[in-house]
């Protein structure tokens, strides 16, 4: 978010947290449009396996991404207990398949730590930082980078 730079250490940001696989993730509440139950997707040909396909969200054709698979881990066998988090960044809207939405979290900017250099893996490109609260550790995801990567795949494939 643009206004991050001008926020002091005391500034607070709100995140929606959700579980995917074993981990707890957070996404800035400003980019979350809605949370809806899982509906079967229409598969998209020639797409990476983390792209589950598209669904009809009140007339908008929305691509749905399996977050766990996108972060380089196991694919989710989706069932009606799963949840789709609808994320809008800029002009793009996508759905993220997660296990469950857990919480709304208010975090002081100072409590968000950068990703440890050592822990670089497939997911680190989408990680904005780690929020540590008491015993919990929430991985804050950059939704901008996540949605952008979906469109950017085209050039990657074309190259």
Partner 1 sequence: MDPMEAIKQTYFQECDELLLAMEEGLIAIEAGEADGETINAVFRAVHSIKGGGGAFGFEALVAFAHIFETVLDHLRSGKLSPSGAVIKVLLRAGDVLSDHVGAARDRRALGDEHDADIKAELAALSGEEAGSDEAAPADFEGLDFTPTCIVVDEPAAQSGWKIVFRPHAALYAKANEPYLLVRELAQLGPTAVEADLTALPALDAIEPDQAYFSWTVTLTSDVAREKVEEVFDFVVGDCDLTIEPLSPAPVAVPVTAAEEFPSIAAGPVQPQEKKDAPAAHDAAKQTIRVDLDKVDRLVNLVGELVITQAMLSQRVLECRIPRASSIGDGLSELEHLLRELQESVMAIRTQPVKSVFQRMPRLVRELAAQTNKKVRLVVEGEATEVDKTVIERLGEPLTHMIRNAVDHGLETPEERAAAGKPEEGTVTLSAEHRGGRIVIEVSDDGRGIDRPRVREKAVERGLVSPAAQLSDDEVDNLIFMPGFSTASQVSNISGRGVGMDVVRRNIVDLGGRISIGSDPKQGSKFSLTLPLTLAVLDGMVVAVGDQTFVLPLAHIVESLKPRKQDVRAFGREGNLLNVRGAYVPLVDTAELLGARRAANQDGGVVILVESQGTGRLALMVDAILGQHQVVIKSFEGNYRHIDGIAAATILGDGRVALILDVDGLVASCRNRLATAETLATGT
**Residue 63 Cα to chain centre, angstroms:** 13
Which of positions 3-32 make contact with partner 1 (CB under 8 A)? Answer: none
Q: Cβ–Cβ contacts within 10 Å for residue 140, how many?
A: 23
What x/- string results for residues 140 through 159 when contact with partner 1 is judged by CB under 8 A?
-------x--xxxxx--x--
- Check residue 108 for interaction with partner 1 (CB under 8 A): no
Cα distance between the two ends of the chain: 30
Rounded Cα–Cα distance for residues 65 and 77 (Å): 12
Beta strands 51-57 and 83-89 are unpaired
The position carrying tokens 């409590």 is 111
User: What tokens were used for 125?
Assistant: 């490109």
Phi first, then psi: give them for residue 82, nearest 5 degrees: -75, 165
50 vs 112, which CB is nearer to partner 1? 50
Only one of the segments 1-9, 92-100, 103-111, 123-131 lies at the binding site for partner 1 (rule: CB under 8 A); that segment is 92-100
77 vs 117, which CB is nearer to partner 1? 77
The position carrying tokens 């670089």 is 120
User: What tokens were used for 42?
Assistant: 């229409």
Rounded to the nearest whole angstrom, what is the least distance from the CB of residue 16 to partner 1 in the complex?
Answer: 20
User: What tokens were used for 147?
Assistant: 């949605």
Rounded to the nearest whole angstrom, what is the least distance from the CB of residue 10 to partner 1 in the complex?
Answer: 34
- Check residue 58 for interaction with partner 1 (CB under 8 A): yes
Rounded to the nearest whole angstrom, what is the least distance from the CB of residue 92 to partner 1 in the complex?
Answer: 5
- Check residue 40 for interaction with partner 1 (CB under 8 A): yes
- Residues contacting partner 1: total by CB under 8 A: 30
Binding-site ranges for partner 1 (CB under 8 A): 40-47, 51, 53-56, 58-63, 91-94, 147, 150-154, 157
């Amino acid at each position: 978010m643009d206004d991050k730079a001008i926020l002091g250490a005391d500034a607070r940001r709100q995140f929606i947290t959700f579980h995917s696989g074993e981990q707890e993730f957070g996404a800035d509440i400003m980019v979350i449009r809605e949370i809806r139950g899982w509906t079967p997707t229409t598969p998209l040909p020639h797409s990476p396996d983390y792209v589950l396909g598209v669904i009809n969200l009140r007339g908008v054709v929305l691509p749905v991404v399996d977050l766990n698979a996108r972060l380089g881990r196991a694919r989710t066998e989706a069932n009606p207990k799963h949840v789709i988090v609808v994320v809008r960044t800029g002009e793009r809207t996508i759905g993220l398949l997660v296990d469950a939405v857990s919480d709304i979290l208010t975090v002081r900017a100072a409590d968000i730590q950068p990703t440890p250099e050592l822990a670089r893996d497939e997911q680190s490109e989408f990680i904005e930082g780690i929020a540590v609260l008491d015993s919990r550790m929430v991985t804050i995801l950059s939704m901008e980078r996540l949605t952008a990567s979906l469109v950017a795949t085209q050039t990657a494939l074309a190259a």
